[in-house]
Amino acid sequence: MPQLVEQISEETKQVKRRKLPFGHYKVLLKSEEVEVKPITQDEYADGWNANLPSINSGNPIHHWSVTLAQLPPNLWCKYRIEYEGNKPYSPVIKNNIYYYSVNKTSHDKELVMLYKELAKGFNSDNNVIRELLSKLEVNADSTKSNISGWLIIRAKKFLKNDKYNGDMDLYLSIL
């Protein structure tokens, strides 16, 4: 019986693995494990993209609930609407250890149009972008909208000419 107690105490002495915060994951960099934070909406707006580890890497799967304005740019080509019993829904979009559920909003039509206009790069019409941004900032009942995300940030930067706008790295082949 004393041996059993000693075995249990030895097992509890082992270092417990720290649970990572939501969205964080670990990668092996030069034989050292490094914790990586998720990319922010500002970083997506600047054109950054995450190279996520595969599902079998030992990292947990993180399920994000986002709007179209927050769906990462590289996943817009996977966005689609399906129907089940005449009810539209968007299937879960999988990107290695990140899964995305796209929430329907009253502004989805304008967000798709804004994405398509920004994808034109130099050929985009600034007046159309301004008009879409103004529609997105106000709800139908004249209250301020709370839609935010990399798409809105990128459109505002595009209008200010803060960044090089010729290659926004968006894909027109969707929708």
**Residue position matching structure tokens 């089940």:** 84
Task: Flag whether pLDDT at 163 surpasses 90.
Answer: no
pLDDT tens for residues 97-132? Answer: 999 999 999 899 999 999 999 999 888 999 999 999
Structure tokens at 155: 């459109």
By DSSP bridging, strand 25-29 and strand 32-36 are antiparallel
Tens-place pLDDT, residues 36-46: 999 999 999 99
- Smallest Cα–Cα separation from 75: which of 54, 53, 99, 55? 99
Is residue 86 helix, strand or coil?
coil
Check pLDDT > 80 for residue 142: no
Q: Which residue has the tokens 């106000």?
A: 138
**pLDDT greater at residue 73 or residue 137:** 73
Q: Is the pLDDT of residue 58 over 60?
A: yes
Mean pLDDT of the chain: 84
Structure tokens at 69: 């304005």
Query: Who's near 2: CB < 8 A, 6+ residues apart?
Result: none
> Residue 20's pLDDT is what?
86
